[in-house]
Amino acid sequence: MLKAAIIGASGYTGAELAGLIHGHPHLELAGLYVSEGSQDAHKPFASLHPRWRGVIDAPLLPLDDEALSRIHTQADLVLLATAHEVSHDLAPGFLAKGLPVFDLSGAFRVPGEGFYDKFYGFAHQHADWLNDAAYGLAEWNQDAIKAASLIAVPGCYPTASLSALKPLQQAGLIAEGNRPIISAVSGVSGAGRKASMANSFCEVSYKPYGVFTHRHQPEISHHLGNQVVFQPHLGNFIRGILATIYVQLKDGVTDEQIAAAYHQAYNGQKIVRLAGQWPQINDVAGTPFCDLHWGRDGDQLIVVSAIDNLLKGAASQAIQCINIHQGFSPVAGLVKE
Ligand SMILES: NC(=O)C1=CN([C@@H]2O[C@H](COP(=O)(O)OP(=O)(O)OC[C@H]3O[C@@H](n4cnc5c(N)ncnc54)[C@H](OP(=O)(O)O)[C@@H]3O)[C@@H](O)[C@H]2O)C=CC1
Ligand SMILES: CC(=O)N[C@@H](CCC(=O)OP(=O)(O)O)C(=O)O
C-alpha cells in the first residue's frame, strides 16, 4: 500500500480525496492536514464530514514543521487540495524531498509569461516546476502523467470542456478560426467550503459570473490548442457541472466522422461515457464519470458534457492520475472492474 498525505483535507475536494483513498485497493491515508493555524486543527475529520463517522477516524493535523518532516519521511505521495498560492508555496518543498505531488489547484497548470500575474493575481516563482508539470487530464496525457513528479490536476470547467472538445480538435473537425462557445453551470461547492456572502444559501441564484475574465478560459484554450469563448454560471445546487458547447464544424464533416472522433478517443475508457442521450447532472453527481452527447444541424454542433466538479473535476481525476503514475489499473478505487 502506498501512503498518501492530504493537505487541505477539511475542504470539499480534500474530503472527497480522503474518502476515495480510504476505499482504494493500493493506497492508504498517511495524514489529513490543515493549515498550521487552522481552527479545525486536531478536530476529528469526521466531525466536519460526518458521512465518514465510524469509517475515517483520523484527526485533522496542523501542517507545522513537525508535520512536514513526518510527511517527508513517512508518505509516498502528497495531494494538495489547497488554494492556488498555498499549493504554489508548498509543492516545491515536497518535490525536493522526492515525493510526487498531485496538485488540485491551478498553480501549475498553464505555463506562459505573465499568466499567473494576470489571471491569479500573484507572480509565479517556480518556472522550472511549472514547465515540468504534467497536465493531469487523465484520458489524454497518460505518458506525461507517468513521467512527471508534479501533476497539475485540471480545473473542473476545463475537465468538462476539454473532454468534450479534444476529440473534435484531434480529428481536425472544428472550422478554421472558430472559437467554440462553452456555456457552463457549476454547483456552489465549486467555490470551496469557506463561507462567503456570494455563496450563502439565500444569495445564490442562477447567474453568470467572470464574463470574459475567468481564468479557465486561457486554461481551456491552452490545453485545447484552439481559442474558446467560456462563460461560467453559478447554479443553485450543491455539486455538478453541465457544459453546453457550441462548435462550428468544417465544411463537409459527416455524422460518421464526428462519431468516429468520439469513439476513437473514448472506446475502452471507463470514466468518460458516450451517453447516447443528453447528459444531466443527476447522472454524474457523486460519481467519477464524465457523460458526453452531441447533436448537429448542418455545420453547427452542440456537445453537452456533465461531471461532478468535486470528483472528475478534482478528486477522482487526481486518483486517476495517481493510478496512471503508479501503474495501477487506471480506474482502481473508482469503478469496480
Ligand atoms: N471545489 C471544486 O469544485 C474544485 C476545486 N479545485 C481546487 O482545489 C483546491 C481546493 O479546493 P476546495 O476543496 O474547494 O477548497 P476548500 O476551501 O473547501 O478547502 C481548502 C482546504 O485547504 C486548507 N488550507 C488553507 N490554507 C492552508 C495552508 N496554508 N496549509 C494547509 N492547508 C490549508 C483549508 O483548511 P484551513 O483553512 O482550516 O487550514 C481546507 O482544508 C483549490 O485550489 C481549488 O481551486 C479544483 C477543481 C474543483
Ligand atoms: C462555482 C465556482 O466558483 N467555481 C470555481 C471553479 C473551481 C475550480 O475548478 O477550481 P480551480 O480554481 O482549481 O480551477 C470558480 O469559478 O472559480
The DSSP annotation for 241-274 comes to EEEEEEEEBPTT--HHHHHHHHHHHHTT-SSEEE
How do residues 292-308 score in pLDDT, each as one tens digit? 999 999 999 999 999 99
The residue extents of the domains of the chain are 2-153+314-326, 156-307
Mean pLDDT of 85-103: 98
Task: Provide the total of helices (H) and of strands (E) in the chain, helices listed first.
Answer: 12, 14
Ligand 1, atom 27, lies closest to the CA of 35
Using DSSP bridges, classify how beta strands 300-307 and 290-297 pair: parallel, antiparallel or unpaired. antiparallel
- Give the pLDDT of residue 100: 98
Pull the grid cell for residue 223: 490545453
What separation in Å is there between the alpha carbon of 66 and the centre of ligand 1? 21
Q: Which residues contact 14 (CB under 8 A, 6 or more apart)?
A: 6, 7, 8, 32, 79, 81
With a 6 Å cutoff on the Cβ, whether 158 touches ligand 1 is no
**Is 163's pLDDT higher than 90?**
yes
- Give the pLDDT of residue 275: 85
Confidence band for 263, pLDDT divided at 50, 70 and 90: very high
Helix 315-326 × helix 12-22 angle, to 10°:
40
With a 6 Å cutoff on the Cβ, whether 199 touches ligand 1 is no
Confidence band for 337, pLDDT divided at 50, 70 and 90: confident
How do residues 42-60 score in pLDDT, each as one tens digit? 999 999 999 999 999 999 9
- Give the pLDDT of residue 113: 87
**Is 188's pLDDT higher than 90?**
yes
Which-ligand-closest: CA of 16?
1
Which atom of ligand 2 is nearest the CA belonging to 188?
1
Which atom of ligand 1 is nearest the CA belonging to 87?
43
- Give the pLDDT of residue 47: 98
CATH number of 2-153+314-326: 3.40.50.720
What separation in Å is there between the alpha carbon of 217 and the centre of ligand 1? 21
With a 6 Å cutoff on the Cβ, whether 67 touches ligand 1 is no
Q: Indicate the DSSP class of residue 326.
A: H
Q: Which residues contact 231 (CB under 8 A, 6 or more apart)?
A: 181, 182, 183, 184, 208, 210, 211
How do residues 8-36 score in pLDDT, each as one tens digit? 999 999 999 999 999 999 999 999 999 99
Q: What average pLDDT is seen over the chain? A: 97
| pLDDT above 90 as % of the chain | 98
Mutate which of 82, 122, 239 for ligand 1? The one with the most ligand atoms within 8 Å of its CB, which is 82
What is the separation, in whole angstroms, between the first and last Cα of the chain? 19
How crowded is residue 28: how many other Cβ atoms within 10 Å of its Cβ? 12
- Give the pLDDT of residue 44: 98
Which amino acid belongs to residue 221? S
Specify which residues 295 forms β-bridges with: 302
Ligand 2, atom 14, lies closest to the CA of 155
Closest C-alpha among 3, 6, 96, 58 to residue 314: 6
CATH architecture of 156-307: 2-Layer Sandwich (3.30)
- Give the pLDDT of residue 108: 98
Choose the catalytic residue: 156, 202, 290, 321: 156
**Is 320's pLDDT higher than 90?**
yes
Which atom of ligand 2 is nearest the CA belonging to 209?
16
Which atom of ligand 2 is nearest the CA belonging to 105?
13
290 noted as active-site residue: no
Q: CA–CA distance from 231 to each of 142, 151, 266, 336 (Å)?
A: 29, 26, 26, 35
Mean pLDDT of 149-160: 98
With a 6 Å cutoff on the Cβ, whether 156 touches ligand 1 is yes
Do the beta carbons of residue 231 and residue 208 sit within 8 Å?
Answer: yes
- Give the pLDDT of residue 15: 98
**Is 195's pLDDT higher than 90?**
no
Mutate which of 7, 34, 65, 79 for ligand 1? The one with the most ligand atoms within 8 Å of its CB, which is 34
- Give the pLDDT of residue 119: 96
What separation in Å is there between the alpha carbon of 147 and the centre of ligand 1? 26
Start-end of H helices in the chain: 12-22, 45-48, 65-74, 84-96, 115-120, 127-132, 142-147, 156-170, 216-224, 255-266, 281-284, 315-326
Ligand 2, atom 3, lies closest to the CA of 191
3-state DSSP percent of the chain in helix, strand and coil, to 5: 35, 20, 45
Q: Indicate the DSSP class of residue 44.
A: B
Confidence band for 179, pLDDT divided at 50, 70 and 90: very high
Do the beta carbons of residue 45 and residue 10 sit within 8 Å?
Answer: yes
Pocket of ligand 2 (CB under 6 A): 105-106, 155-157, 186, 190-191, 232, 234, 313
Asked if 2-153+314-326 and 156-307 have one fold, the answer is no
How do residues 104-138 score in pLDDT, each as one tens digit? 999 999 998 899 999 999 999 999 999 999 999 99
